[in-house]
């Protein structure tokens, strides 16, 4: 069960990083968000979800 949760968190982190890279934020802010997500996978993901860069609307 723990492995499944780990895989889900890993995939969610990868998705968050891809969304951050695609955002219109500056390079410095993108870098800081990615570092937060990588070093604090669960907490960083939650903070990113609520406070992170919003997707670009077309």
| pLDDT of 54 above 90 | no
Question: Where exactly are the structural domains of the chain?
Answer: 2-51
Each residue of 13-42: pLDDT tens digit?
A: 999 999 999 988 899 999 999 999 999 999
pLDDT above 70: residue 56? no
- Looking at residue 36, its pLDDT comes to 95
- What are the distances in angstroms from CA 15 to CA 18, 32, 37? 5, 16, 11
If one compares 55 and 17, the residue with the highest pLDDT of the two is 17
CA distance to 38, 42, 58, per residue, from 45 (Å)? 9, 5, 24
Specify the length of the chain in residues: 58
pLDDT band at 43 (very low <50, low <70, confident <90, very high): very high
């Amino acid at each position: 069960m723990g492995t499944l949760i780990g895989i889900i968190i890993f995939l969610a982190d990868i998705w968050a990083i891809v969304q951050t890279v695609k955002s219109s934020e500056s390079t410095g802010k993108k870098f800081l968000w990615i570092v937060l997500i990588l070093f604090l996978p669960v907490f960083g993901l939650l903070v990113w979800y609520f406070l992170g860069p919003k997707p670009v609307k077309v």
